[in-house]
A = this chain, B = another copy of it.
Amino acid sequence: MIKKYYLLSPGPTPIPDKVLSVAAEPIIHHRTPEFSNIFMEVTEGIKTVFGTKEDVFILTCSGTGAMETAVVNTLSPGDKVITINGGKFGERWGNICKVYGVVYKDIILEWGADFTKERLAEELKADPNVKAVFATLSETSTGAIYDIKGFGEVVSGTDAILVVDGISGVGAAPCPMDEWKVDVMVTGSQKSFMIPPGLAYIAFSQKAWKMVETSKLPKFYFDAKKAKKNLGNKTTPWTPAISLIIQQKKALEIINGMGLPKLFEHHRILGDATRAGVKAVGLGLLAVNPGNILTAVKVPAGVDGVKLVKTMQSKYMAYIAGAQDPNKGKFFRIAHLGYMGGFDIITALSALEMTLLDLGYAFEPGAAMKAAQTVLKENWQ
């Protein structure tokens, strides 16, 4: 049989053909009016997705580089912050703070657990010297989505800034930066932005810019003030990943052409279909509050979780993601993020059913697909 490769991981995500093909065009120079026009168009397009009137800066790095950019541009050594740590990526905020001598209170949640704005309010009340709260919109390691709107309500009433890792979430789930009073938002290019990895995006509120002005942490490549100065000249301080920015222009035509409300609804339908599918074969979800970006599914008793992921990937070429350490083998993650359609969910669930049959798990074959199809059919338009 011809076995096709299906990318069902939460980054990188599938890329539309017409976005892939522009990467094959000859390279142009970045200090030209031609490129500046593309660059500014992309910047404006990302602002729309971010829901902000502030400048968006395009960085050539992974999402982690943008997270570091958020930390080093707003804080000074010894500053106190709160990090909401709900998984592998929430944990990263603290790891970055540690390196730079920022004093962080790490609120370690059980993987998949929720964290309420009321609890955040208590934390902030307990220490009025906190300069920043670091949160995650969609925790990619667990599929959980957090109440950024609520966090914004709480944090905006204090002197602290709210910094949000929107790497897998922005563009797939609502997080209007200005309206929800997010002060720093970061994301990556290989998630809902529908291009390959290599770019990351960041924006700062006016409140955050005041902290940028006084921040004493060292930075050079990730210096936001340099980026701002250069954006005024329609360029970047350093040579950017030109071909990826040109791909982003093409992908933004699709994203903003469809419009955010429809895109969020699209992800909602795919999320509902996936959840309905796995529940129909008796599987449980990891996240208390699962997002529509990816679904983390608990491995049922008696099934080898590592083998499940391996079988999906190797035998059926359905590249879902496993659970990261220290939870390896306990759950798996099906992404419904970026350029995916309804039948990609059917494919994912079919591969999952075949794998569960291989591993001797008892269920009604076809039930996952049927349940997902019902959701898709009801919402199809």
Inter-subunit contact A241/B196 (CB<8 Å): yes
Inter-subunit contact B238/A101 (CB<8 Å): no
Is A177 positioned at the interface, with any CB of B under 8 Å from its CB?
no
Inter-subunit contact A220/B27 (CB<8 Å): no
The A interface, classified by DSSP as helix, strand, loop or mixed, is loop
Contacts of A60 in B (CB 8 A): 60-62, 65, 197-198
Inter-subunit contact B27/A196 (CB<8 Å): yes
Of the residues B13, B218, B239, B244, contact of A218 by C-beta under 8 Å = B218
Is A14 positioned at the interface, with any CB of B under 8 Å from its CB?
yes
Is A12 positioned at the interface, with any CB of B under 8 Å from its CB?
yes
Is A29 positioned at the interface, with any CB of B under 8 Å from its CB?
yes
Of the residues B5, B220, B313, contact of A99 by C-beta under 8 Å = B220
Contacts of A219 in B (CB 8 A): 99
Inter-subunit contact B62/A220 (CB<8 Å): no
Contact pattern, A 22-65, Cβ under 8 Å of B = 1, otherwise 0? 01111111101000000000000000000000000000111111
Contacts of A238 in B (CB 8 A): 61-65
Is A367 positioned at the interface, with any CB of B under 8 Å from its CB?
no
Closest to A22 in B: B24
Inter-subunit contact B64/A61 (CB<8 Å): no
Contacts of A29 in B (CB 8 A): 7, 9, 12, 319
Inter-subunit contact A198/B5 (CB<8 Å): no
Measuring CB to CB, which residues of chain A are less than 8 angstroms from any residue of chain B?
Answer: 5, 7, 9, 11-15, 20-21, 23-30, 32, 60-65, 68, 95-96, 99-101, 188, 190, 196-198, 217-223, 237-244, 313, 319
- A11-B239, A190-B239, A190-B242 known, 19 other contacts, Cβ within 8 Å: A5-B28, A7-B29, A12-B27, A20-B24, A23-B243, A24-B24, A61-B65, A62-B221, A62-B239, A64-B220, A100-B220, A196-B243, A196-B244, A197-B240, A198-B198, A198-B240, A198-B242, A241-B241, A243-B244
